[in-house]
Amino acid sequence: MASVETSVPQTTISMLQDKAAQLRIDSIRSTTEAGSGHPTTCASCAEIMSALFFSVMRYDPKNPRNPRNDAFVLSKGHAAPILYSAWAEAGLFPREELLKLRKFDSDLEGHPTPRLPFVDVATGSLGQGVCAAVGIALAGKYLDKIDQRVYVLLGDGETAEGSVWEAAHVASYHKLDNLCATVDVNRLGQSQPTMDQHDMEAHRARWAAFGWNAIVVDGHDLNALLEAYRTAESTTGRPTAVLARTIKGKDIPGEEDKNGFHGKALDRKQAEEAIASIGKSIHGNGAWKPTLPSKSSEAIAAPVESAFPPPPYAPGKDEIATRKAFGSALAALGKADSRVVVLDADVENSTYTEDFQKVCPDRFFEMFIAEQNMVGAAMGLSAHGHIPFASTFACFLSRAYDFVRMAAIGDNNIKLVGTHAGVSIGEDGPSQMGLEDLAIMAAQPNITVLYPSDGVSTWASIKLAADIQGPVYVRTGRPKNPVVYQPTEKFEVGKSKVLRQSGSDLLTIVASGVTLFEALQACDTLKAEGINVRLVDLFSVEPIDRDGLIAAAKATGGRVLTVEDHYAHGGIGDSVLAALSDQRITLEKLAVRRIPHSGTPEELLDKYGISASHIVEAARRMVPA
């Protein structure tokens, strides 16, 4: 590691100045060609990007997916053009590609996505990249144990986002000295100056108060930047924040440090003038040679996989809550697959991820009551080859919904498990009930949504979640329920299970979770009345078992009754409706239709119309007289 006293040769500084100028030129040129984008946002961080990409970071410019590369996350995603320019300048692709910025046939999109090989997580919703960087740093320091540094670039306006401070707090708690954040303090937001403008002491005090080594520099002074990054490298036990005072629109004539130029491409004439002006400072002294990733580091451990055991549950044995089966399955999976990592938001004794922690303490990370950063860190971990399960009460995953949205955009391989779904949690009241989790998770077009009902299906869902490539959500509940499946039962994504059927079924009932047990009771009551019904355990909400549902609906006169411990919009009723939309069926949806109240689980299932008696009533209404 370089000591902070090492002085940098002037030829290096000169080379870096040239690179910074070139990055400014390329950012201007590409945004002008696109007719939109954020050139002034790029201009403020040109020296920062030059220092990182052409001096500080060790990486293979021909192989951005090399897991030993130092990692870089552009948390201020709207500076995408300068990120693309840096990789072009590093030689990954020809500079002319930059002129395809923001076009449909290029992956150089308006904001970065992992469609590009040098992007781990999609950014463009501010305050998220820094959380992903925490996940990457956790992976590098504690799991892969490699000599890798993680750099993340934020904007100053971005630090108004609370998720930044969630990341800052958890990063210092976990002593992530391999993590270095740079804040490009260019004083101006989109519509006006930021809260702190150029009050660098305010910026410094905040990061220091969160336990970071906080260094203030002139963000256009390459010597100062390099020294700060060297200090960061030699700092142990805590992460470093480089707070770089910069000028928005730096070196763009007429736009420096001025409000009103955010997100505005220069017109062609302005661009030509700016490029000519900036180009004058390029001297062409000194060539860049990449510093390849360290070879001396320990090998990244290859994933170890062994057989995942069958579930220890069977019908007729003890009742079990799906959240408890989740915890047990996760512990078993952790022992079977070294890629599995678990993140908790201080509820491990309610979600039972404590079972995983007991057997795999080194792969369990406590992220405290900060769900946004928990999901963001999972995104970062997933981008570096791990399979993170992030879990809390289903309702509190809504806290991280914008992160879930961005994880879907990036198709990150994260696994979210929500516990305590629905009114069946009882006395804690509506603030603790997940009643919209299916709606919000299934809304994303690439999230697989599983909703197991008993211990056996929960056990299977956790293994399926790990095996699927891409984001997965599993819904679990608080109350204990009987086991309905044999431990040998096979579950598949996109397949439902028929639990009751006869040759004379008049109605299909579709349920999952606690309402499956209400429906089973209802089936018995109805059968005693001479009404045979078909009962489907949906299990896989997205993708849904369209063929199975069509077959059931066709066999039962096109009469379908859905029942769910979820609000009426966007839950399993709506998913079933969508699957059967061209079948000319009739469907009644039993769901929670108003804000619930505290009470006992049994009371609430009944008060909100989703108990066995309501199912029986609806069935009687629906079947032919």
Identity of the residue, 357 or 496, whose beta carbon is nearer to a copy of itself in the bound complex: 357
What is the dihedral sign for C-alpha 243, 249, 255, 256?
Answer: positive
Could you list the beta-strand ranges (E) of 91-163: 150-155
Q: Which of 227, 371, 518, 542 is catalytic?
A: 371
Print the binding letters for residues 106-145 with a copy of itself: x by CB under 8 A, - otherwise.
-x-xxx-x-x------xxxxxx------------------
Q: Which of 233, 251, 542, 564 binds a copy of itself (CB under 8 A)?
A: 542
Kindly state the tokens that stand for 234.
């030699």
Closest CA relative to residue 520, chosen from 549, 481, 489: 481
Per DSSP, the three-state class of 570 is coil
- Is 67 in contact with 300 (CB distance < 8 Å)? yes
Number of chain residues interacting with a copy of itself (CB under 8 A): 114
Per CB under 8 A, which region of 66-74, 162-170, 475-483, 520-528 contacts a copy of itself?
A: 162-170
Kindly state the tokens that stand for 8.
């940098």
Q: Which of 8, 33, 142, 211 binds a copy of itself (CB under 8 A)?
A: 211
Q: How far is the CB of 158 from a copy of itself (least distance, A)?
A: 6
Q: Which of 15, 228, 442, 531 binds a copy of itself (CB under 8 A)?
A: 442
Q: How far is the CB of 133 from a copy of itself (least distance, A)?
A: 15
Rule CB under 8 A: say whether 395 interacts with a copy of itself: yes
Please list every residue from 562 through 601 that binds a copy of itself, using CB under 8 A: 567-570, 573-575, 577-578, 581-589, 592-595, 597-600
Could you list the beta-strand ranges (E) of 199-334: 213-218, 240-245, 320-321
Q: Which residues of 397-411 are buried (b: 16+ CB within 10 A; e: fewer)?
A: bbbbbbbbbbbbbbb
Rule CB under 8 A: say whether 348 interacts with a copy of itself: yes
In eight-state DSSP terms, residue 315 is: T
Identity of the residue, 364 or 485, whose beta carbon is nearer to a copy of itself in the bound complex: 364
Rule CB under 8 A: say whether 205 interacts with a copy of itself: yes
Distance of CA 314 to the CA centre of its chain: 35
Rule CB under 8 A: say whether 445 interacts with a copy of itself: yes
Print the binding letters for residues 222-261 with a copy of itself: x by CB under 8 A, - otherwise.
----------------------------------------
- Is 440 in contact with 475 (CB distance < 8 Å)? no
In eight-state DSSP terms, residue 33 is: H
Kindly state the tokens that stand for 476.
């679990």
Q: Which of 428, 467, 529, 547 binds a copy of itself (CB under 8 A)?
A: 428
Rule CB under 8 A: say whether 344 interacts with a copy of itself: yes
- Is 79 in contact with 112 (CB distance < 8 Å)? no
Please list every residue from 396 through 415 that binds a copy of itself, using CB under 8 A: 396, 398-399, 401-402, 405-406, 408-409, 411
Q: Which of 64, 310, 429, 487 binds a copy of itself (CB under 8 A)?
A: 429
Q: Which of 1, 3, 5, 191 binds a copy of itself (CB under 8 A)?
A: 191
Please list every residue from 39 through 78 that binds a copy of itself, using CB under 8 A: 77
Identity of the residue, 61 or 573, whose beta carbon is nearer to a copy of itself in the bound complex: 573
Identity of the residue, 205 or 276, whose beta carbon is nearer to a copy of itself in the bound complex: 205
Per CB under 8 A, which region of 50-58, 142-150, 363-371, 514-522 contacts a copy of itself?
A: 363-371
Q: How far is the CB of 127 from a copy of itself (least distance, A)?
A: 8
- DSSP lists the bridge partners of residue 498 as 536
Rule CB under 8 A: say whether 540 interacts with a copy of itself: no
Identity of the residue, 445 or 503, whose beta carbon is nearer to a copy of itself in the bound complex: 445
In eight-state DSSP terms, residue 74 is: E
Identity of the residue, 12 or 172, whose beta carbon is nearer to a copy of itself in the bound complex: 172
Q: How far is the CB of 603 from a copy of itself (least distance, A)?
A: 5
Helix axes 10-34, 80-89, angle to 10 degrees: 130
Could you list the beta-strand ranges (E) of 502-608: 507-511, 533-537, 539-542, 559-567, 586-592
Rule CB under 8 A: say whether 430 interacts with a copy of itself: yes
Rule CB under 8 A: say whether 618 interacts with a copy of itself: no
Residue 340, H or E segment:
strand 340-344
Q: How far is the CB of 375 from a copy of itself (least distance, A)?
A: 12
How far is CA 2 from each of CA 11, 250, 307, rounded to the nearest angstrom?
A: 18, 30, 46
How far is CA 39 from each of CA 75, 104, 329, rounded to the nearest angstrom?
A: 16, 20, 50
User: Does 354 participate in catalysis according to the annotation?
Assistant: no
Residue 498, H or E segment:
strand 497-500
In the block, tokens 């839950």 appear at 571
- Is 386 in contact with 143 (CB distance < 8 Å)? yes
How many CB atoms are located within 10 Å of the residue 376 CB?
35
Q: How far is the CB of 451 from a copy of itself (least distance, A)?
A: 14
Q: Which of 54, 84, 151, 210 binds a copy of itself (CB under 8 A)?
A: 210
Identity of the residue, 300 or 439, whose beta carbon is nearer to a copy of itself in the bound complex: 439
Helix axes 10-34, 222-233, angle to 10 degrees: 100
Rule CB under 8 A: say whether 160 interacts with a copy of itself: yes
Identity of the residue, 514 or 541, whose beta carbon is nearer to a copy of itself in the bound complex: 541
How many CB atoms are located within 10 Å of the residue 362 CB?
10
Active site residues: 371
